[in-house]
A and B are shown apart, each in its own frame.
Chain A
Amino acid sequence: MPAEKRPTAPPRRRRSSVEGRGGLFGLLTPGTLWIIVFFLLPLVFVAVSSFMSRGPGGQPVQPWTLDQYERTFTTFGPVLWRSLRIALVATVFCLVLGYPVAFFISRRRSPGVRMMLLFLVLLPFWTNFLVRTYALITILQRDGLLNGVLQSLGVLAEPIQMLFTPGAVMLGLVYGYLPFMILPIYASVEALDFRYVEASNDLGANDFTTFWRVIFPLTLPGVIAGSILVFIPAIGAYITPDLMGGTRGLMIGNLIQSQFGGRGNVPLGSAISMVLLALVFVSVFIYSRWGQREDA
């Protein structure tokens, strides 16, 4: 066993050949404990609380009940569906917009140009999420740029309401998470052996057939990875629907948040969180089954 002791594990620091159990223990314990106590245990608390009743101040109390789940699926069923729909449509839009871009970038010959193009995709992405969302809001709002341009072009007579609609939330999510789609697809196309494409051309397939029968199947792992990477934050989004959705564009994240604080219901919020977690785990399962690349 290689010995990679840190000086913080002093007693056995000078053991020669094989690293002792003590050293390994010292490396493992702090991080593992932190994750168990401050990440896994809180999730267990949420799971337990989701089966409890609402007590004073919205806090979870006995008796045990399934009421919270029932309410989640009945009262908030429409919001769950809307969230799923918005997240799925945003994912599809990201795919349709992102695939050609990823393809375009990875087909540039010069590595400098590729780096520059990727940088231009990533830079907005590293800007604070709230600031980016606000930037999009300034474009979409009633006296915003888009309404102004459309009016001066004569397309619109009156400014129309674009903000505070499900469509605005969807656009916000596409804007926020598009880079998550572009990067894995870029990696997939980069790894694609273009001799297959040449072979397909030589055998008489047109570009359409070559794309659907050769290129797309070979880059499918990237497509699935990108879709999951967009879908997961989209389904759990809070800021985007909060700032751009109004009441018609609320999503699961806003439901959860509204159950905390003064007039909230923590067990109900916990149950909604568990449903969100279940959706995320289904996506992770899809990813681990079909989205992983052998070389990753």
Chain B
Amino acid sequence: MSARPNGLNKGRIRRDLAIRRTGRVGVWLSPFVVYLFLWIPILVLVAFSFNDSASISVWRGFTTRWYENIFNNTITAGTEAARFQTGLLLRALRNSVMVAGVATIVSTALGTMLALAIARGRFPGRKLLDSVLYLPVVIPDITQGVSLAIFFNIIFAFVQQAFGVRWTPGFATIIIAHVAFNISYVAIVVRARLAGMDPKLEEAGRDLGANPFQTFWRITFPNLFPGVLAGALLAFTLSLDDFVITFFNAGVGTTTLPLFVYGMLKQRVPPEINAISALMILASILLVGGSLILQQRGNRQGRG
């Protein structure tokens, strides 16, 4: 063939092979590094929750006493004065579950309805509403938290002036805030499911004489259910996990678990914190693992 200098050339082949080898090593090595980076802090935390010392860098032997303290109702919190009861932690957990539960129920209902209306309805402003739905997903939580705090402040001042009733932030404001961002997430997830659904199924139902109510409950809803469930699980997790928005809209006695953990990290860091964190990690693994299994099963049923 041609004798052009950039044809088959030993130096170039050697260089290209070196590039390939480097690339291969890189593609194998970097995931290894990244997985270590993601997992080492968590694994170290769990390991040191069994350390027989309050230190988190020096291993002094195995103990389960931090866990025992938690289950025996005393968390030492550094000094004797800062000692507090596990009941406080459990109350925060209960508040969290209550808030997340109510917020999930309300936002799942409203979000699903919105998704249905946007996917199947024709009305002015539909495109606009569709893009507004994405706003709570992209706008930073600090902005959402602050804007709601300003909003409630003004409304409460107005109510006091007009009716002489004193409203204060509390569970209601937290739940309202959580629903406000969760509606969007639920609607987006349910819409994705609706988009993948065959409209012929509903048409067939109607052709066979089902009324709209029957069509919805016998055809649309069962097909939609995995999406609704996924949306509800997402809403529950987001609500349970939220710190910033709750922080700005909480009142006295409405401490949720993230607020409680934040308080511990900021003020009294008890040696039990590693054990508490490890328990929270375990809980989220069980929750996420369980929901993934549920979702898989739901998807299979939905498609079958």
Chain A residues contacting B294 (CB-CB under 8 Å) are none
Shortest CB distance B112–A (Å): 8
Q: B183 contacts which of A34, A120, A211 (Cβ < 8 Å)?
A: A34
Does any Cβ of A come within 8 Å of B105's Cβ?
no
Cross-chain contact of A43 among B44, B45, B147, B220 (Cβ < 8 A): B147
Residue from A13, A43, A147 having most chain B Cβ neighbours under 10 A: A43
Chain A residues contacting B183 (CB-CB under 8 Å) are: 31, 34-35
The answer to whether B113 and A127 touch across the interface, beta carbons within 8 angstroms, is no
Q: Say whether A100 contacts B215, CB under 8 Å.
A: no
- Chain A residues with Cβ below 8 Å from B154 are 45
**Residue from A24, A31, A131, A135 in contact with B121 in the complex, judged by beta carbons closer than 8 Å:** A24
- Kindly list chain A residues whose C-beta atoms are within 8 Å of the C-beta of B216: 3-6
Q: How far is the CA of A32 from the CA of B183 in the complex (A)?
A: 9
| Chain B residues closer than 8 Å to A28, beta-carbon distance | 113-114, 117, 121, 123, 129
Min CB gap A20→B, angstroms: 10
A113-B30 Cα distance, complex, nearest whole Å:
17
CB distance from B45 to the nearest CB of A (A): 4
CB-CB contacts of A125-151 with B at 8 A, as 1s and 0s? 011111110111011010111011000
B136 at the interface (CB under 8 A from A): yes
The closest CB in chain A to the CB of B210 belongs to A3
Which residues of chain A from 2 to 38 have any CB-CB distance to chain B below 8 Å in the complex? 2-7, 13-17, 19, 23-24, 26-28, 30-32, 34-35, 38
Q: Is B262 an interface residue (CB 8 A)?
A: yes
Taking CB atoms, residues of chain A closer than 8 Å to B177 are: 38
Residues of A within 8 A of B273 (CB): 134
Interface residues of chain B: helix, strand, loop or mixed (majority): helix
* B interface residue count range (under 10 / 10 to 19 / 20 to 34 / 35 or more): 35 or more
Q: Which residues of A contact B287 (CB under 8 A)?
A: 126
- Give B176's nearest chain A residue, CB to CB: A38
A88 CB contacts on chain B under 8 angstroms = none
For the complex, what is the distance from the CA of A135 to the CA of B42, rounded to whole Å? Answer: 6
User: Looking across the interface, which residue of chain B has its beta carbon closest to that of A1?
Assistant: B120
- Say if the beta carbon of B148 comes within 8 Å of chain A: yes
Chain B CB count within 10 A is highest, among A178, A206, A208, A232, for A206
Residues of B with C-beta under 8 A to A206: 15-16, 19-20
Bound-state CA distance A45–B146 (Å) is 10
Contact of B146 among A5, A123, A207, A260 (CB under 8 A): A260
Determine which of B37, B56, B114 lies in contact with A145 in the assembled complex, contact meaning CB atoms within 8 Å: B56
- Given A4-B116, A35-B180, A138-B41, CB of A128 within 8 Å of CB of B258: yes
Which residues does A use to contact B, with CB under 8 Å? 1-7, 13-17, 19, 23-24, 26-28, 30-32, 34-35, 38-43, 45-46, 49, 59-60, 97-98, 100-101, 103-105, 107, 117, 119-124, 126-132, 134-136, 138-139, 141, 143-145, 147-148, 175, 178, 206-208, 211, 232-233, 235-236, 238-239, 243, 253, 256-257, 260, 266, 269-270, 273, 276-277, 280, 284
12 CB contacts below 8 A, A to B, read A24-B117, A34-B110, A39-B180, A43-B139, A43-B143, A100-B30, A128-B261, A130-B261, A130-B262, A135-B41, A175-B37, A236-B141
Binding site for A on B (CB under 8 A): 15-16, 19-20, 23, 26-28, 30-31, 33-35, 37-42, 44-45, 48, 55-58, 110-111, 113-114, 116-117, 120-123, 129, 132-133, 135-136, 138-144, 146-151, 153-154, 176-177, 179-181, 183-184, 187, 199, 202-203, 206, 211-213, 215-216, 220, 237, 241, 243-244, 248, 257-258, 261-262, 265-266, 273-274, 277, 280-281, 284-285, 287-288, 292
